[in-house]
Amino acid sequence: MELAGPATACTSIELSDTYMPNDLSPQQINHLLQGIRVPPQPQILVDLQIEQVMPQPDINRIAELIAKDVGLAGTMLKFVNSPFFGLANKISSIEQAVSLLGVNTVINILNGLAIKGEMSDENIVALTRFWDNANDIAMVCARVAKQVGYHTPDEAYTVGLFHNAGIPLLMQRFDKYLDFLENADAAQCERIIDVENEKFNTNHCVVGYYVSRSWNLPDHLCQVIAEHHNTDRIFRTDPTKESSQTRKSLHAILKVAEHICGNYRLFNNLPQDFEWENNAAQILEYLGLTDLDIDDLKESFESMGISR
């Protein structure tokens, strides 16, 4: 599937002259909550509700909790990048989104999501691995981005958090989707998205692209999410274009994080990380890393309980 429109490089945030950080009305919040949404983690909602009832809710603590959840983080970015706020450029930092929205609006949004976010115990268990993996990869992406000197680690964190956002949506759409992922026999030269396309006539990258667009993420981040299993295509793009360099850097950082976190075992139950083995040389060369650097990163994250 060919995605329309070129990606654009991220620039610094500029607020319009008329921007005022006023609270959104309940009607505006209800309007923006409509559409595609990844269910939030129940425990995160509980922790946020506890923070809300404090005499003086800590906006930094609220931002920290929201940044750990795919659905909540996506919703906050959708709000802050909406026309209501008049930002000249879309942002990808969850902490910045929460800060711009303000405590009252964030709490109103969270209350709306808590009402809509009821899930069965079975669904919660099924999504636990997704939530944990998204957090792990986001953290590794940010660390790798800093190590290789990528200019905006927040972008790398956001890509890591959202790159598999299509998975829980496909789990909701197809009853046996998780069983399919666990039992998909993707061979060395076959990508999981090719197997998904054959089985479901779509794949988690395509769905993730559209949900990231619905959250108003910057275009270049949406493109990375859409093509995160298309390493060959990413590395064939024109290296002289700034937007191509940005996407290529984020893609390479994401691939390192996926490898370190053992995605090939977590979702696809493969004996080897075939995707990494097929592309590791060009990824490492592009980022200026070596196999020894990857081993050091694995050891570092294993001590934190992240590497699988």
Cβ atoms 256, 294 nearer than 8 A: yes
For 153, phi then psi, to 5°, come to -55, -30
140: closest CA among 157, 152, 165?
157
118: DSSP letter: -
What are the structure tokens assigned to 205, written together? 């990258």
Q: Is 6 exposed, middle or buried (0-12, 13-18, 19+ CB in 10 A)?
A: exposed
Whether the pTM exceeds 0.95: the reply is no
CA distances from 36 to 77, 170, 171, 264 (A): 14, 11, 13, 27
Task: Report, as an integer, the average pLDDT of 192-218.
Answer: 87
121-302 — its CATH code? 1.10.3210.10
Contact between 28 and 159 under an 8 Å Cβ cutoff? The reply is no
Three-class SS state of 15: strand
**Model confidence over 258-300: pLDDT tens digits?**
999 887 776 666 677 888 888 999 999 999 999 999 999 988 8
The segment(s) of the chain belonging to CATH 1.10.3210.10 are 121-302
Q: Which residue has the higher pLDDT, 183 or 26?
A: 183
Task: Write the secondary structure of 210-222 as one string of H (helix), E (strand) and C (coil).
Answer: HHHHHCCCCHHHH
- Report the length, in residues, of the chain: 308
Confidence of residue 7 (pLDDT cuts 50, 70, 90): very low
Answer whether 223's CB lies under 8 Å from 8's CB: no
